[in-house]
Amino acid sequence: MIRGTFTGMKPGTILGHEGVGIVEEIGSNVRNLKVGDRVVVPSTIACGYCSYCRKGYHAQCDNANPHGHNAGTAFFGGPEAAGPFDGLQAEYARIPYANAGLVILI
């Protein structure tokens, strides 16, 4: 962001593309994480199951961006076109597709 502007940013959007944290709560579909795990949160959001994700092209995920697969990469703290995902410069963050996106720190 330069001089406080970024095309397509909604006022009040929480910034921050990557983060680290501790898992506080998990959803019913998450099987590979547990409360208390220390994790890295990558900047892009990917489902882990579409054809692109299975080939390792997470930035091209067909499912993560709610604006459709032609909308581009879904990521945290970006403009509306990148999906309605607030950034990670916050005390708590909800991580979509956590089972595919979080990396456990050992």
Q: Is residue 59 part of a domain?
A: yes
Over residues 5-22, the mean pLDDT reads 86
Q: Is residue 23 part of a domain?
A: yes
Q: What is the pLDDT of residues 23-61, one digit of tens each?
A: 999 999 899 999 999 999 999 999 999 999 999 999 999
Distance between CA 30 and CA 33 in Å, rounded? 7
pLDDT band at 83 (very low <50, low <70, confident <90, very high): confident
pLDDT at 5: 67
Average pLDDT, the chain: 90
Q: 50 vs 6, which has greater pLDDT?
A: 50
Domain span at residue 40 reads 16-106
Q: Is residue 5 part of a domain?
A: no
Q: Is residue 66 part of a domain?
A: yes
Q: Is residue 95 part of a domain?
A: yes
Find the helix or strand (DSSP H, E) in which 100 lies: helix 98-101
Split into its structural domains, the chain has a count of 1
Q: Is residue 72 part of a domain?
A: yes
Say which CATH number the domain at 36 has: 3.90.180.10
Is residue 99 within 8 A of residue 29, CB to CB? The reply is yes
